[in-house]
Amino acid sequence: MKKFIYFLAFIIFTLLLSSCTRRTVVVKQPVPQNNNVVVVQKAPPAAKVIVPKKCGPRRIWVKGHWKWNGHRYIWIKGHCKKRIAGKTWVAGHWKKVPGGWRWIPGHWM
């Protein structure tokens, strides 16, 4: 029981300590050519390693990715997508550009 109380105190202390920190992230938003272009100065976190689920013969697995929400990166889960005959899926990815990182959305090619 004593170990549990120490463990619980450690968790509470860690949560309180982490809530006291403040992060400032500067986002550079150039004049967009379309409304989806955003350059983020902070690099995205490493991708999560997720075992893809089986989608079936007419679907493909689109892996999850980090998305910038204007304040921080959030994880978007992977999902199954309907396959388009004769097309190849090009996965979305973050590309290093002058001034930061830019999201290149996934698309059919």
| Residue 81, in any domain of the structure | yes
Q: Which domain holds residue 34?
A: 28-108
| Residue 21, in any domain of the structure | no
Question: What CA dihedral angle connects 72, 73, 77 and 81, to 10 degrees?
Answer: 110
| Residue 98, in any domain of the structure | yes
Q: Is the dihedral of CA 35, 29, 100, 98 positive or negative?
A: positive
The total of structural domains in the chain comes to 1
Q: Confirm whether pTM is higher than 0.85.
A: no
| Residue 4, in any domain of the structure | no
| Residue 92, in any domain of the structure | yes
Comparing CA positions, the residue from 105, 108, 91, 95 lying closest to residue 44 is 95
| Residue 14, in any domain of the structure | no
| pLDDT tens per residue, range 68-109 | 999 999 999 999 999 999 999 999 999 999 999 999 999 999
